[in-house]
Amino acid sequence: MKYLPLLRMGVLFIFFSLAGVFPPGLAFGVESGGALENFLQKVEESSAAIDSFSCDFTQIKQLAIFAGPVEFSGQLSLRRPDKLRWEFVDPLPSVIVLNGNRGLKCTDRGPVTKFNLDGDPVMRMVASQLWAWSSGSYRELRDDFDFKLLPGPALVFSPRSKETASYIGRIKVVFDPDHLQPLEVEINEPGGDRTLLYFSNYRRNLALKDVLFSECRLR
């Protein structure tokens, strides 16, 4: 499984605040299943009440080989059960669209690329990660990552296999305590590179147009 394309894209991701319930710094791993499972259940329940949303994001990529960070901005749109649009607006416009098992990729410098998740294992993994972080389906990542629950609330994901660890050092997701959707995602890579994502201006339960999930044209 190749996670590198996902990391370079910046991917990515809820009612209940744990800040006043658990002491600062206390972590809950897989062995503390009760608190962790309770939180994951609340995330899924909260996400299920949101049929669609759009939000803005800022991605800051810190590369070990560069002196300063590289910053991008864009918009994420999602409509249940299986439609997602991840769009970079500035400075390098590009889009990835997921519509069921079909997908589209495009930039402002080349043609539209079509793919099918059934026949593209790399994009299938990208899609599963994007959907899990965006829709709250974090349980789907349990085969590949160990979880820790932190005050905030926040989840930390650590890769289980050496293969996955060669691409991902650690992922941390900080949640909005009211709606339990991601506010911040931090992705650390073994070589020292780091990706930070900040989500804002959530617009929930919108009537999103079909064209968002059927065309790859840049806005």
Residue ranges per structural domain of the chain: 4-213
Q: CA-to-CA distance for 173 and 126, rounded, in angstroms?
A: 17
Closest CA to 70 of 200, 196, 203, 206: 196
Report the SS3 class of residue 109.
Answer: coil
Cβ 14 vs Cβ 55: under 8 Å? no
Topology (CATH) of 4-213 = outer membrane lipoprotein receptor (LolB), chain A (2.50.20)
Give the pLDDT of residue 198.
Answer: 95
Q: Check: pTM over 0.85? Answer yes or no.
A: no
Q: What is the pLDDT of residue 11?
A: 36
Quickly count: other Cβ atoms within 10 Å of residue 91's Cβ.
9
Listed residue (90, 98, 102) closest to 135, CA to CA: 98
pLDDT in tens, the chain (219 residues): 333 333 333 333 322 222 222 222 323 333 346 888 888 888 888 888 888 999 999 999 887 676 778 899 999 998 988 898 999 998 889 998 988 888 898 888 778 888 888 887 777 767 766 666 566 667 667 777 888 999 889 999 888 888 878 878 888 999 998 888 889 989 888 888 888 999 999 999 999 999 999 988 776
Please give the angle made by the CA atoms of 178, 183 and 52, to the nearest 5 degrees: 70
* pLDDT, position 135: 60
Beta carbons of 22 and 187 less than 8 angstroms apart:
no
